[in-house]
């Protein structure tokens, strides 16, 4: 992509409510545009990043055997009345009527809808276990939408639902998802802490929030630093190993303020390992047994032919929130650096261009087509502007690698720079090798 052709409407005057870095940066680099309070359009740069996050989430869900589907955003109130949540959910739910006067709603989550899908088609334990998921827009009429895409009204979420015959089997599904979440966040270059959490209006007895560390986070966290020393690679993908994994993580003290008690913290964690910081919730998993299947009559025949309520869990990841959260976790001193797996571009070519000298631009275009041939997603800054402005701009956009075509480039050798480190002079073939790694 040529920068001159890319639709990146830079916002210079930031709105007063843009208080945190990710919100400011997403506006300044034209990743998003607010359409009304808590509701955003995703412009090409932001959309590209979100799609990469979505794809990692999808691959890691598929890897544990979860199956992708798509449920609608608009739901009928009937199923919510059956579960008893229609009144409980309160004002966060956007309620609407269709032209026949039927009560509808914009889904804030999908436990009821998936239970309805499941009960009409699955009748026997033989079809279990199942994990289904979709990646779909949700709407919650948050009382105070803020921090850009981190707490908005309309947001993009992956939500998965597991169905099992017994409580014991359901906990195996829970462990798989726990594992999948840790792998997902690792691939995005994030350190996520799973924390025992309250189950809130979703209900149930087993729940973990996945929190990444960031000063601007809304959750206060109290944890033992040793939690970061657990290596996920030591676990195998089988029930016993995954159970061991969850136990290893849960043994280490890590809680949000809801569960924090000073005495417990001091008793369980040595002073030098105590970590008291803030974090952003990027995922939340629940096991709630028959909380929905019972009132909604989602029954299956067990091994003896007896009808029993299916045991369910639900598992959410804030895909759109992650865009902001990753920025918060990586932004430093006016320089953004995307993790390579998420970056909107793999590399940017920055030629020094003046009105009278287009030689560097021509060289840059040659490099561009060479990299394109190699399937490297590259941005070419073909805008006629001084180099210091260009560098500032690319520090903001945060592409992890720069190829600078200017004074230091000679013949087939160019200045190559990984953001936040020193540049080196390399031949084009060496540059390609590095980028391909």
- With tokens 């608009």, the residue in question is 74
Of 280 and 397, the one with the shorter C-beta distance to ligand ATP is 280
* Helix intervals (H) in 287-427: 319-330, 359-373, 387-397
Cis peptide before 129 (omega within 30 of 0): yes
Q: Which of 172, 208, 246, 284 binds ligand ATP (CB under 6 A)?
A: 284
Give the angle 82-84-89 at the CA atoms, nearest 5°: 125
Helix (H, G, I), strand (E, B) or coil at 303: coil
Binding of ligand ATP by 155 (CB under 6 A): yes
Q: Which stretch in 150-158, 179-187, 258-266, 422-430 sits in contact with ligand ATP by CB under 6 A?
A: 150-158
DSSP 379-417: EE------HHHHHHHHHHH--SEEEEESTT-BTTEEEEE
Helix (H, G, I), strand (E, B) or coil at 127: helix
Distance of closest approach, residue 106 Cβ to ligand ATP, in angstroms = 13
Q: Which stretch in 26-34, 64-72, 221-229, 282-290 sits in contact with ligand ATP by CB under 6 A?
A: 282-290
Number of residues this chain uses to bind ligand ATP (CB under 6 A): 15
Binding of ligand ATP by 283 (CB under 6 A): yes
Phi, psi torsion values for 104, nearest 5 degrees:
-125, 175
Of 17 and 412, the one with the shorter C-beta distance to ligand ATP is 17
- Binding to ligand ATP (CB under 6 A) within 313-332 occurs at 316, 318, 320-321
Q: Please choose, from the candidates 336, 347, 364, 353, the residue with its C-alpha nearest in 3D space to the C-alpha of residue 401.
A: 347
CA 17 – CA 4 distance, rounded (Å):
30
Of 4 and 35, the one with the shorter C-beta distance to ligand ATP is 35
Of 213 and 431, the one with the shorter C-beta distance to ligand ATP is 213
Distance of closest approach, residue 145 Cβ to ligand ATP, in angstroms = 7
CA 74 – CA 90 distance, rounded (Å):
17
Distance of closest approach, residue 159 Cβ to ligand ATP, in angstroms = 7
Binding of ligand ATP by 185 (CB under 6 A): no
Distance of closest approach, residue 56 Cβ to ligand ATP, in angstroms = 15
* Footprint of ligand ATP (CB under 6 A): 109, 140, 142, 151-152, 155, 157, 281-284, 316, 318, 320-321
């Amino acid at each position: 992509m040529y920068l001159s052709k890319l639709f990146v409407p830079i916002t210079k005057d930031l709105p007063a409510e843009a208080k945190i870095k990710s919100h400011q940066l997403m506006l300044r680099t034209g990743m998003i545009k607010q359409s009304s309070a808590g509701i955003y359009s995703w412009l090409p740069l932001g959309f590209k990043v979100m799609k990469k996050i979505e794809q990692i989430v999808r691959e890691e869900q598929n890897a544990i055997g979860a199956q992708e589907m798509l449920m609608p955003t608009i739901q009928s109130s009937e199923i919510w009345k059956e579960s008893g949540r229609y009144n409980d959910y309160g004002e966060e739910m956007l309620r609407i009527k269709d032209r026949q006067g039927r009560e509808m709603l914009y889904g804030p989550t999908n436990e009821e809808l998936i239970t309805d899908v499941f009960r009409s088609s699955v009748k026997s334990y033989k079809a279990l276990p199942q994990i289904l998921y979709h990646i779909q827009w949700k709407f919650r009429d948050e009382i105070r939408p803020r921090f850009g895409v981190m707490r908005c009204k309309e947001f993009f979420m992956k939500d998965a639902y597991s169905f099992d015959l017994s409580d014991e089997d359901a906990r195996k599904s829970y462990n798989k998802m726990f594992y999948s979440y840790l792998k997902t966040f690792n691939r995005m270059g994030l350190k996520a802490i799973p924390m025992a959490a309250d189950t809130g209006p979703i209900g149930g007895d087993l729940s973990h929030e996945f929190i990444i560390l960031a000063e601007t986070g809304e959750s206060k966290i109290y944890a033992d630093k040793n939690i970061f020393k657990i290596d996920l690679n030591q676990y195998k993908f089988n029930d016993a190993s995954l159970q061991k994994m969850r136990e290893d993580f849960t043994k280490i003290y890590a809680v949000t303020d809801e569960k924090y008690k000073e005495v417990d913290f001091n008793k369980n964690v040595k002073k030098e390992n105590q970590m008291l910081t803030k974090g952003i919730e990027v995922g939340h998993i629940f096991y709630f047994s028959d909380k929905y299947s019972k009132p909604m009559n989602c029954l299956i025949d067990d091994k003896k032919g007896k009808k029993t309520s299916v045991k369910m869990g639900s598992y959410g990841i804030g895909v759109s929130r992650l865009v902001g959260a990753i920025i918060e976790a990586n932004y430093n001193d006016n320089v953004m650096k995307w993790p390579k797996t998420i970056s909107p571009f793999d590399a940017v070519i920055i030629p020094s261009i003046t009105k009278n000298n287009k030689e560097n631009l021509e060289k840059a275009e040659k490099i561009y087509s060479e990299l394109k041939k190699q399937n490297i997603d590259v941005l070419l800054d073909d805008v006629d502007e001084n180099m210091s402005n260009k560098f500032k701009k690319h520090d903001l956009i945060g592409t992890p690698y720069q190829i600078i075509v200017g004074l230091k480039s000679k013949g087939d050798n160019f200045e190559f720079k990984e953001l936040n480190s020193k540049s080196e002079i390399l031949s084009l073939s060496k540059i390609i090798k590095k980028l391909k790694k």
